[in-house]
Amino acid sequence: MKTAEEMKSMEEAQKNYVPEKVTPLEERDMQWFRDAKFGMFIHWGLYSLLGKGEWVMFNERLNTREYAALTEDFSVPEYDPKAWAKTAKAAGMKYMVLTTRHHDGFCLFDSKISAFNAVNSAAHRDLVREYVDACRAEGLKVGFYYSPMDWRFPGYFMPELYWESAQEMKKQCWAQLEELMTGYGKIDLLWFDGEWLAHGGIDFGGDNGWRRPLNWETGKYMRVNYFWESERLMNQIRKWQPGIMINNRGGWEGDFHVRERRIDGMRTDKPWDSNDCIADSWGYIPGRPVLSLRQLIKNLTDIVVRDGNYLLNIGPTGTGKMEETQVTRLKELGAWLGKYEESIYHTRGGPVLPGKWGGSTYRENRVYLHITEWEENEIVFPAPGKLVCASGLNTQNFSVTQQDTEIHVRVPIEDRDPYDTILCLEFEKPIQWAGVAGKENDVYGLADGLK
């Protein structure tokens, strides 16, 4: 007879797991991402029919059988991925990332391992295939979001107690990733979300009932690469899709890092994206206010001058339609980008460190200043070389001078752009700058026993 200690399957799996080495992509393989700067995130699925966000099944404790019955209403009469892709392109976006399957387990693709998918819904279509084709038709890079976790499995919430269920969830994850990585041609980016178990932690607190323990961020349910066999999975994905960029939410440190709904400090040593919503919700919720053009421009420039990418989320309705207010705002942003694209695309953040006033991007011997706030009438920063000349992209009345090792910039109040005053500074030689190494203030991608 086994002892109680011998029946602790998670501990046994952790003890026996030997992680493989995963080699991050080389910089040349991620140059497209560095150049792109701006992408469209799309959260869309069964939950969109209910209009209460993508976590509605969990948040409102919906019966899984009744939730699954929503497939009978998921006919998506207004789903037009070609229009989605054209909207993204008009907004100045260079890639798209679609939720192929969120935490509720519903697949937008034709999964053979799970009948809970779009082909078996009222849509009777592989919606991911249409999305991929639409991206390629508009010259956009193709990204897939995929959640390993699945709320329909008791083993997700209590993996020790329902170990067989947890293993079935893991088997589903591996099989569906194979379907996504081998069935749709070249995929450029894989955006994991949900590598943890039990929402990062669940414990019984006696009189306090079930609760999340205080150390959940570094606890045994958060760093569970041994459960998913994450490193081996990443290497398998590389075999299916050589050159694909993978984020840090699959139990591995990732080729690029995700900063969810935050921007934080500058980092040039590793690619990163900051993802946020155009209307304060990932999945569709009607009536949410749309971000102003000014705020979108500021978000984009704040991210780019820190050397990151902006992944902006749109949540279409349950019928598949993007809200017109969001589409209109995206087109406005695209028009702005069309005027000043030289200061955004194919640049790197720096060499001027960002401040409350804004920051800079650079390419070869040109430095583009993005000034979004004026706390002082003069902006001063170290000169990255010998200044040759300066020009304004959206102002003609300005002063840029080099005084010894400093650059001094002044623009009269009446000549400042209401969104972003952009100046181009040309230097005698191409910019040589070591950049800034960053450290992230989250726990994602810190696999147990590795980092």
Answer yes or no: are the C-beta atoms of 56 and 80 closer than 8 Å: no
Asked if the model's pLDDT at residue 227 lies above 50, the reply is: yes
Asked if the model's pLDDT at residue 105 lies above 50, the reply is: yes
Please give the Cα distance from 250 to 252 (Å, whole number): 6
Instruction: Give the model confidence (pLDDT) of 343-354 as tens digits.
Output: 999 999 999 999
Answer yes or no: are the C-beta atoms of 278 and 287 closer than 8 Å: no
Residue 53 confidence (pLDDT): 98
Residue 451 confidence (pLDDT): 39
The fraction of the chain above a pLDDT of 70, given in percent, is 98
Residue 424 confidence (pLDDT): 98
Instruction: Give the model confidence (pLDDT) of 12-68 as tens digits.
Output: 999 999 999 999 999 999 999 999 999 999 999 999 999 999 999 999 999 999 999
Answer yes or no: are the C-beta atoms of 358 and 368 closer than 8 Å: no
Instruction: Give the model confidence (pLDDT) of 416-432 as tens digits.
Output: 999 999 999 999 999 99
Pairing of strands 366-371, 421-427: antiparallel
Instruction: Give the model confidence (pLDDT) of 319-370 as tens digits.
Output: 999 999 999 999 999 999 999 999 999 999 999 999 999 999 999 999 999 9
Asked if the model's pLDDT at residue 6 lies above 60, the reply is: yes
Amino acid at the residue 146 = Y
Mean pLDDT in residue range 149-175? 97
Domains of the chain and any CATH numbers: 5-343 (3.20.20.80), 350-427 (2.60.40.1180)
How far the first Cα of the chain sits from its last, in Å, is 37
- Provide the mean pLDDT of the chain: 95
**Per-residue confidence band for 450, with pLDDT thresholds at 50, 70 and 90:** very low
Q: CA nearest 339: which of 134, 118, 170, 92?
A: 92
Q: CA nearest 95: which of 286, 316, 244?
A: 244
Asked if the model's pLDDT at residue 266 lies above 50, the reply is: yes
Amino acid at the residue 379 = I
Asked if the model's pLDDT at residue 447 lies above 80, the reply is: no
Say which residue the tokens 């799309």 belong to.
Answer: 42
Residue 446 confidence (pLDDT): 65
Predicted TM-score of the model (pTM): 0.97
**Given CA atoms 204, 210, 216, 220 in this order, what sign does their dihedral have?**
positive
**Per-residue confidence band for 217, with pLDDT thresholds at 50, 70 and 90:** confident
Residue 449 confidence (pLDDT): 41
Q: Which two tokens stand for residue 319?
A: 């019928």
Sheet holding 387-392, edge to edge: 348-349, 358-363, 366-371, 421-427, 387-392
3-state SS, the chain, equals CCCCHHHCHHHHHHHHCCCCCCCCCCHHHHHHHHHHCEEEEECCCCHHHHCCCCCHHHHCCCCHHHHHHHHHHCCCCCCCHHHHHHHHHHCCCCEEEEEEECCCCCECCCCCCCCCEHHHCCCCCCHHHHHHHHHHHCCCEEEEEECCCCCCCHHHHCCCCCHHHHHHHHHHHHHHHHHHHHCCCCCCEEEECCCCCHHHCCEECHHHCEECCCCHHHCCCCCCHHHHCHHHHHHHHHHHCCCCEEECCCCCCCCEEEEECCCCCCCCCCCEEEEEECCCCCCCCCCCCCCCHHHHHHHHHHHHCCCCEEEEEECCCCCCCCCHHHHHHHHHHHHHHHHHHHHCCCCEECCCCCECCEEEEEECCEEEEEECCCCCCEEEEECCCCEEEEEECCCCCCEEEEECCEEEEECCHHHCCCCCEEEEEEECCCCCCCCCCCCCCCCCCCCCCCC
Q: Name 331's Cβ contacts closer than 8 Å, sequence gap at least 6.
A: 87, 90, 91
Mean pLDDT in residue range 198-221? 81
Mean pLDDT in residue range 173-197? 97
Residue 206 confidence (pLDDT): 64
Asked if the model's pLDDT at residue 377 lies above 70, the reply is: yes
Answer yes or no: are the C-beta atoms of 290 and 326 closer than 8 Å: yes
Residue 333 confidence (pLDDT): 98
Residue 443 confidence (pLDDT): 81
Residue 202 confidence (pLDDT): 82
Please give the Cα distance from 259 to 66 (Å, whole number): 34
Mean pLDDT in residue range 166-171? 98
Please give the Cα distance from 376 to 367 (Å, whole number): 21
Residue 441 confidence (pLDDT): 85
